[in-house]
Amino acid sequence: ETIRLADYRPTPYAITEVRLDFRLDLDGTRVVAETLFRRRDGIAAGTPLVLDGDELDLAEIRLDGAPLPPDAWTATPQRLEVRTPPADDFHLTVTTWLDPERNTKLMGLYRTSGNWCTQCEAEGFRRITYFLDRPDVLAVYTTRIEAPRAAAPYLLSNGNRIDAGDVPGTDRHFAVWHDPFPKPAYLFAMVAGTFERIADRFVTASGREVALEIYVEPGRGARTAHAMDSLKRSMRWDETEYGREYDLDVFMIVAVDDFNMGAMENKGLNVFNEKYVLADSETATDADYAHVEGVIAHEYFHNWTGNRITCRDWFQLCLKEGLTVFRDQDFSGDQRSRPVKRIADVRLLKSHQFPEDAGPLAHPVRPSTYREINNFYTATVYEKGAEVVRMLKTLIGADGFRAGMDLYFARHDGSAATIEDFLACFADATGRDLERFKLWYTQSGTPDVMVSTHWDASAGRLRLTFDQTALPTPGQPVKAPMVVPIRFGLVGPSGDDLAWERVSGAEVAGDVIVLDGAHHEVVFEGVTARPVPSLLRGFSAPVRLTLGSDTADLLHLMSHDRDPFNRWQAGQALAMRALISGTQAARTGQTVEIDPALASAFAAVAADESLDTAFRALAITLPNDADVAREIGTDVDPDAIATAIEQLRARVATAGRATFRRIHAEMASSGPYRADAEAAGRRALRNAVLDHLVRAGDGDLAAQRYRQADNMTDRLAALTAAVTVGLPSAEDLLADFYQRFAGDPLVIDKWLMVQATAPRAETLDRVRALTAHPAFAATNPNRVRALITTFATGNQTQFNRADGAGFAFVADQVLMLDRINPQVAARLLSAFRSWRALEPRRRAYAEAELKRIVAAPDLSRDVADIAGRSLE
Ligand code: ARG
Ligand code: ZN
C-alpha cells in the first residue's frame, strides 16, 4: 500500500503510440484505446503486461486486432493483466464504458455545466482506460472525439487539429487531434461542449505564429481580457528570461466551474478552474487579478518545466512544481512591485507551509514514501520547493543559474527526470558541489537559526553568532545542518549600509553569508559605526530566524532598512512581540502596556510617501491570529490571541487615527476605475487604513464605502470590515451583495467566505445553515472551499471553539464529502494539521474527531491517509 522511492523500476514495456477514440453521448461514453507496446531492453519475452485501472468497465479487449482468449488475460475495475504478450511490438485495443455524469470525484472524464472535461494528473487517466499510468511512460497521442453537434459544438484535445467533419447521416460530428510531443498520460486532456471562444494570436521570437484560444461558459467572454493579456506576457517572458518558445500551432485554455485544484497544464490544452481565468473590475478584486496572472503564467511555464521535461515518478513532483512556482513568482515580481510580491509569497509560505512542516503532515520537498499521491500537492512541494530553487539561484548567482537551466533544457528535453538530474545540471554548469544543498529536498521541517550579536565599538568589530537546529519531524528524528544563504546588510545610523574591511568565520559572497554547519561565528572587522544587522533580507532562506535585537534596533530597521522586505519584517516582528506578551496577559486576565513608539510607528510607515502605496498597505497590516498561533507553537488558546490582537489593533488605530483619516481621503480615486498597479496600490492602502478606522470607531465609513464602491476590491473590503467587526449595517450589506451577484457563482463564493470568517459565536450556526442555501453545492469544490474550508482554515476562534463544535462540524463535512470527492474531503481534513499545538481541552476535542474519522467505515485512501498521519 505504501509506495517507496527506493523501489523505483522502469516498466517492462514502453508505450510508443496511443490512438484514442471517444464516442460521447448524453447517456455515457465509449472509449476505444489502441496502444502500441514495446518490450524494453533486458526484459524477458513473455513478461506479463500489467496495466492500471480505476473503477473501469471493460467492454472488449483485442491484441493485434484479434480477440484475446479468456485464459490469456484477467481484468478487474482496477487492473488488467495480459499473461504472455507477444515477443515483438504489439497493439492492445481496449474498449471501456464511462459514466461521466456520475463521476463526482472530478478525476478522469466528468461533466461540468453540461460540458465534458478531463483531469488526469496525477492518476486520472486510468479512469478512462487501462494504461501504464505513470509519468515515465511517454507516448505520442492521436485523439478522435465524436459527439452530438448540438451538445458539443467544440471538440478539443492536445496538440494540433488534423481533421474534423460531420458523421454522415447523423446529428454528430468529430475532430481528430495529434500531439507530436511524447508525453505521459497525466498530460492528456479532452474537452467537449458549448463554450464562448475568445481568439487572439502570438508571434514567437523566431517568428512562428501561434493561435491563442480561451474557452469559457457563454456570456463570460468579456471577463477574459486580463487572462489573455497575462498569457501573452508570460509567453514573451519565458522567451526573454529562459530562451523558451512555445512549440505547437495553438495554445488553448478552457475555464470550468467544477475543478479540484487551481488549473492543469495539459499539453496545448490547459484546463482551469474559472476562478483563475475570469476577471473584471465589477466581479474580481485586485488580488484576484494577481492570482489570474500568476496561475496563467504557472500553467504556461509548465510547457517547458513539466511537459517538455517531465518527472520520472511522483516523488519528483517538486521538480516541476517547485521550479514552476519559482518561475511564476519571478514573472509576477517583474510585472508589479517585486518587494510587494515577495512579501505576499512569504506570507503564503509562512501561513501554509510552516504549519505543515511543524505538524504531523510534515514531509520533505521530495517525499520518499506515499500512500496517496494526491495528498502531496502541498505547500511544501510547491511553495517550499520554489524557495529551494530560489536559494539555489542565490548560491550560484543569476548567471550560474541561467547556465544550469540551459543545460537542464538541453540535456533532458523529451524525457522524465529526477531531482538528481536537475541538480547535476547546476553542479556541472558552475563547478559547485551541491551534495549538501540537496538536503533541502530530502529533510523535512523548518530549520531554526538563532542569532546573537556582539558589537565592540572600540575595535570596530561586529560578531554574529549563528546556531542552527531543527526539531524532529515524522520519520526524521535527527537532522543534519542545512546550507542556509543569509542575505544581509549592516545598517548604519543614517540607514545606509555600512562597509567592513575584513570578514571571517563563514563563506561570505557579496551580500550573502552561507551557513553550512550547526554553529558559526562571523566576525566583521573595520566597521566604522554601530551597525544594526539586517539579516535574511528578502527572506533568502525558508528558516525561522530568531534575533536578539532590541526594540530600538527593530524600529530602526522598520523605518530605515533599504531592503523593503526587512522593513516590513521588522514591523511584523515588533507587532508579534507585543502580541505574544499580550496573549500571555490575556490568559491571566491582565492587559499589557503597548509601547507608544510601536503604536505610532505603523502610522508613520503608512504616511511615508517615499514608499510604494502597496508596500505601505502591507506594512500596516498586523499579524493575524493564525500568525500568532504559529509563532507561539504550543498550548495555543485562540481566544486569548484574538483578545491580544484586538488590543493592539485598537492602540495602533487610536494612535494613528488622524493619519489614517488623512490617507483615507487622499487615496480616494478621482476619475474612472483603473486596474493598473498604481491604482491597485492606492486601493490597497485606502482599504488597509479603512480596516483600522472601522475598528477605531469610524464604523459608518464601511457602509458608506460599500455603497460608493465602483469595483469589487473596494466593495469586498468594505463588506469584510463591516462583517468582521460586526457593525449594525453588516446584515443589510450582505443582503445587498447577495442580490447584486446572485447567479454569479464566483462572486457568491466571496459572499460565503466573508460569512465563514466572521470571528463570532453565531458563525458556526450560520455556516451550517448556508450548507443548505441554494447557492451552495457540496459537489462543487469552489463552493466547498469558499464556505467550509474557509471556516476551517480562516477562522481561528470559531473552528477551534472551546466546546469542540467547530471540529465536530468540519469532521461531519469531511465524512459527507468523502462519498462525493475524496480529494476535496482530504484537503479539508488537513485543516486539523496543527491540532497538537492547541491547549489541552481543544486538543482533546480535535483528537476525538480525528479518531472518529479514522474509525469510520469505507474511507477513501485520501482521507484515511491524512487522518492516519495526523494521529501518528
Ligand atoms: N499540475 C497542476 C498544477 O500545478 C496541479 C494538478 C493537480 N491535480 C490533482 N488532482 N492532484 O499546476
Ligand atoms: Zn503546477
Kindly report, residue by residue over 15-54, the tens digit of the pLDDT: 999 999 999 999 999 999 999 999 999 999 999 999 999 9
| CA gap 237, 276 in Å, rounded | 19
CA distances from 97 to 122, 181, 619 (A): 21, 28, 57
- Beta strand pairing status for 209-216 and 250-256? parallel
Residue type for position 810: V
Cell of 604: 508613520
pLDDT (tens digit per residue) in 72-92: 999 999 999 999 999 999 999
**Collapsing DSSP states into helix, strand and coil, what is residue 570?**
helix
Q: How far is CA 352 from CA 355, 619, 623, 793, 834, in A?
A: 6, 20, 14, 10, 11
Cβ neighbours around 447 below 10 Å, total? 22
Whole-number pLDDT of residue 229: 98
Q: Which ligand is nearest to the CA of 187?
A: 1
Q: What is the mean pLDDT of residues 824-842?
A: 98
Tell me the C-alpha distance between 49 and 849, whole Å.
Answer: 43
Cell matching residue 476: 526524521
> Minimal CA–CA distance to 321: which of 483, 477, 121, 464?
121
Residue 571 C-beta-side C-alpha neighbours within 13 Å: 28
Residue 253 grid cell:
485554455
Q: What is the DSSP letter of 384?
A: I
What percentage of the chain has pLDDT greater than the value 70?
Answer: 100
Please identify, by atom number, the ligand 1 atom nearest to the C-alpha of residue 377: 11
Mean pLDDT for 766-780 is 98
With contact defined as beta carbons under 8 Å apart, do 693 and 653 qualify? yes
Ligand with the closest atom to the CA of 135: 1
Show the cell assigned to 726.
Answer: 460586526
CA distance 259 to 105: 10
Give the ligand with the smallest distance to the CA of 372: 1
CB contact at 8 A, 272 and 256: yes
Of the pLDDT bands very low, low, confident and very high (cuts 50, 70, 90), residue 591 is confident
Q: Counting ligands in written order, which one lies closest to the CA of residue 376?
A: 1
Between the CA of 263 and the centroid of ligand 1 the distance, in Å, is 6
Q: How many Cβ atoms sit within 10 Å of the Cβ of residue 765? A: 11
Are the C-beta atoms of residues 228 and 212 closer than 8 Å to each other? yes
Instruction: Give the pLDDT band of residue 592 (cuts 50, 70, 90).
Output: confident
CA 615/CA 343 separation, integer angstroms: 9
**Which of 520, 371, 543 lies closest to 445, judged by CA?**
543
Q: Whose CA is nearest to atom 7 of ligand 1?
A: 121
Q: Pull the grid cell for residue 815.
A: 465524512
pLDDT in tens, 705-743: 999 999 999 999 999 999 999 999 999 999 999 999 999
Checking if the pLDDT of 666 tops 90, the result is: yes
Best residue for ligand 1 mutational test, from 305, 317, 377, 827 (most atoms within 8 Å of Cβ): 377
How many percent of the chain have pLDDT more than 90? Answer: 98
Is pLDDT at 549 greater than 90 in this prediction? Answer: no
Q: What Rg, from alpha-carbon coordinates, does the chain have?
A: 28
Distance between CA atoms of residues 847 and 841, nearest Å: 10
pLDDT given at position 670 = 84
What separation in Å is there between the alpha carbon of 84 and the centre of ligand 1?
36
Q: 448-456 and 544-547 as β-strands: parallel, antiparallel, unpaired?
A: parallel
Please give the mean pLDDT across all residues of the chain: 98
Is 299 considered catalytic here?
Answer: yes
pLDDT of residue 359: 98
Q: Which residue has the cell 549600509?
A: 497
Kindly indicate the confidence band of residue 790, based on its pLDDT and cuts at 50, 70 and 90: very high
Q: Which pLDDT value is given to residue 621?
A: 97
Closest CA to 296 of 238, 383, 211: 238
Residue 593 pLDDT > 90, yes or no? no
Mind listing the pLDDT tens digit for each residue in 469-520?
Answer: 999 999 999 999 999 999 999 999 999 999 999 999 999 999 999 999 999 9
For ligand 1, mutation pick of 127, 260, 261, 291 (most atoms within 8 Å of CB): 261
In the reported structure, the alpha carbon of residue 266 is separated from the centroid of ligand 2 by a whole-number distance in angstroms of 11
- Atom 11 in ligand 1: which residue has the minimum CA distance? 374
Distance 596 CA to ligand 2 centre (A): 46
d(CA 121, ligand 1 centre) in Å = 6
Residue of 183, 264, 296, 821 to test ligand 1 pocket, by largest number of atoms within 8 Å of CB? 264
Q: What is the pLDDT of residue 754?
A: 98
Tell me the mean pLDDT in the region 354-367: 98
pLDDT for 840: 98
Residue to mutate, 119, 120, 121, 824, ligand 1, most ligand atoms under 8 Å from C-beta = 121
Q: Which atom of ligand 1 is nearest to the CA of 299?
A: 12
> What's the CA-to-centroid distance between 32 and ligand 2, angstroms?
30
Q: Which ligand is nearest to the CA of 305?
A: 2
Rounded to 5°, angle at Cα 310 from 308 and 312:
145
Q: Which residues line ligand 1 (CB under 6 A)?
A: 121-122, 260-261, 263-265, 298-299, 321, 374, 377, 823
- 746 near 275, Cβ under 8 Å? yes
Separation of alpha carbons 311 and 815, rounded Å: 33
Nearest atom (ligand 1) to Cα of 321: 4
CA 838 – ligand 2 centroid, Å: 33
Cell numbers that stand for 679 in this block: 491604482
Euclidean distance between CA atoms 811 and 199, whole angstroms: 45
How many CB atoms sit inside 10 A of residue 620's CB? 26
- Residue 548 pLDDT greater than 90, yes or no: no
- Peptide linkage before 603 cis (omega within 30 of 0): no
* Residues 328, 329, 333: CA angle, nearest 5 degrees: 115
What residue's CA is closest to ligand 1, atom 1? Answer: 264
Which of 188, 189, 214, 185 has its CA nearest to residue 199?
Answer: 214
The closest residue, in CA terms, to atom 3 on ligand 1 is 264
Q: What's this model's pTM, rounded to 2 decimal places? A: 0.99
Backbone φ and ψ for 347, nearest 5 degrees, come out as: -60, -40
- What pLDDT, on the 0 to 100 scale, is given for residue 262? 98
Ligand 1, closest atom to CA 382? 4
Nearest CA to ligand 1 atom 5: 264
Given 217, 265, 299, 849, the catalytic residue:
299
DSSP-derived secondary structure letter, 593: P
Cα(261)–Cα(659) distance, integer angstroms? 42
Distance 298 CA to ligand 2 centre (A): 6
Return the C-alpha cell found at 324: 514552476
Query: What pLDDT was estimated at residue 172?
Result: 98
Q: State the complex-level ipTM.
A: 0.98
Q: What is the β-pairing status of strands 49-52 and 66-67?
A: unpaired
Assess contact for 386 and 317: CB atoms under 8 A.
no
Q: Phi/psi of residue 827, each to 5°?
A: -55, -50
